[in-house]
């Protein structure tokens, strides 16, 4: 299996080198595939349809195209911004699946496995505590686990108990539902400064000192999943339900 990412493939020649080095029935995984530039993307079209690579030799009137056969391979593309995929590329994929967030139980098993790899002891309740605050994402769960491991090594004997996990998570300002300081700042800005919205994405980004792309890619999906914000046409945001926000979490207001 060959793994790469859209931003890493800068030129058509980069992709051509990857494709020609694949073996029969290999799998090519491209993360953030929506970030492929158009000239690189066009190289994929004949590769996906005919297992072939079209190369232009020469310039001007004397230029000619030759076609190289490629081994049969499977292409998997991953993106959190499916709307940014061009129609020609999206339509060439035979299967399009949407992955859901991991459950707490699934994340708990991932945390326990990662702890074994890190040679770190952890209680079941501590693993569950980390899993509940991991935003449904294994990458976040593993990142939090490593920081809690560091915390346990400094504050205790290195074994992660539920109390150590909760204390460490509080120190990281990650609350009971996985919101961090930026999430809470974002929500409070919508509520306090814009009367619950709507507010433009760029305006909101300037208000909290974050890039608009960061808000859209990192914070928006989880807040939408929780139902704490709504997104309307024109990149506007709405507060979706009345709530109180504190450093330790959120609760509905009757």
What is the C-alpha separation between 191 and 186, in angstroms, rounded?
9
Q: Binding site annotation covers 125? A: no
Per-residue confidence (pLDDT) for residue 233, from 0 to 100? 55
Q: Binding site annotation covers 231? A: yes
Examine the pLDDT at 66 and tell me if it is beyond 90: no
- Domains of the chain and CATH, by start: 2-91 (3.40.50.300), 104-171 (1.10.8.60), 181-252 (1.10.10.10)
Confidence category of residue 156, pLDDT binned at 50, 70, 90? confident
Contact call for residues 220 and 231 (beta carbons, < 8 A)? yes
Contact call for residues 152 and 158 (beta carbons, < 8 A)? yes
Contact call for residues 240 and 228 (beta carbons, < 8 A)? yes
Q: Binding site annotation covers 135? A: no
Contact call for residues 29 and 4 (beta carbons, < 8 A)? yes
Examine the pLDDT at 166 and tell me if it is beyond 90: yes
Examine the pLDDT at 218 and tell me if it is beyond 50: yes
pLDDT higher at 110 or 68: 110
Per-residue confidence (pLDDT) for residue 234, from 0 to 100? 47
Q: Binding site annotation covers 92? A: yes
Give long-range contacts, CB 8 A cutoff, 24+ apart: 93-97: 93/48
Examine the pLDDT at 240 and tell me if it is beyond 50: no
Confidence category of residue 4, pLDDT binned at 50, 70, 90? very high
What is the C-alpha separation between 151 and 166, in angstroms, rounded?
11
Q: Binding site annotation covers 49? A: yes
What is the C-alpha separation between 1 and 17, in angstroms, rounded?
15
Q: What residue has token string 């339900």?
A: 241
Examine the pLDDT at 235 and tell me if it is beyond 60: no
pTM of the model: 0.72
Nearest to 138 by CA among 162, 99, 111, 115: 111
Tell me which of 31-45, 130-144, 202-216, 226-240 is least confident. 226-240
Contact call for residues 35 and 7 (beta carbons, < 8 A)? yes
What mean pLDDT comes out for the span 73-89?
A: 89
What mean pLDDT comes out for the span 206-216?
A: 87
Q: Binding site annotation covers 100? A: no
Report the relative pairing of strands 243-246 and 249-252 from DSSP bridges. Answer: antiparallel
What is the C-alpha separation between 5 and 76, in angstroms, rounded?
11
Q: Binding site annotation covers 50? A: yes
pLDDT higher at 177 or 195: 177
What is the C-alpha separation between 71 and 55, in angstroms, rounded?
16
């Amino acid at each position: 299996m060959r793994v790469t990412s859209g931003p890493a493939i800068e030129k058509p020649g980069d992709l051509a080198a990857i494709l020609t080095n694949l073996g029969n029935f290999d799998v090519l995984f491209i993360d953030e595939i929506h970030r492929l530039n158009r000239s690189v993307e066009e190289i994929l079209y004949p590769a996906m349809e005919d297992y072939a690579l079209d190369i232009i030799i020469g310039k001007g009137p004397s230029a000619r195209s030759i076609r190289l056969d490629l081994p049969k391979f499977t292409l998997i593309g991953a993106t959190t911004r499916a709307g940014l995929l061009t129609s020609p590329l999206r339509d060439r994929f035979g299967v399009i699946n949407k992955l859901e967030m991991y459950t707490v139980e699934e994340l708990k098993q991932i945390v326990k496995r990662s702890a074994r790899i890190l040679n770190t002891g952890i209680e079941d309740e501590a693993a569950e505590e980390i899993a509940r605050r991991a935003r449904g994402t294994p990458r976040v769960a593993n990142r939090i686990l490593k920081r809690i491991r560091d915390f346990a090594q400094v504050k205790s004997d290195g074994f992660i108990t539920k109390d150590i996990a909760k204390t460490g998570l509080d120190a990281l300002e990650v609350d009971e539902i996985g919101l961090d300081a930026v999430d809470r700042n974002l929500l409070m800005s919508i509520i306090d400064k814009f009367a619950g919205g709507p507010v433009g994405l760029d305006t909101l980004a300037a208000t909290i000192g974050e890039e608009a792309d960061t808000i859209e890619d990192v914070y928006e999906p989880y807040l939408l999943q929780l139902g704490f914000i709504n997104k309307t046409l024109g990149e506007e945001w709405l507060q979706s339900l009345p709530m109180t926000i504190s450093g330790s979490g959120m609760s509905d207001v009757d």
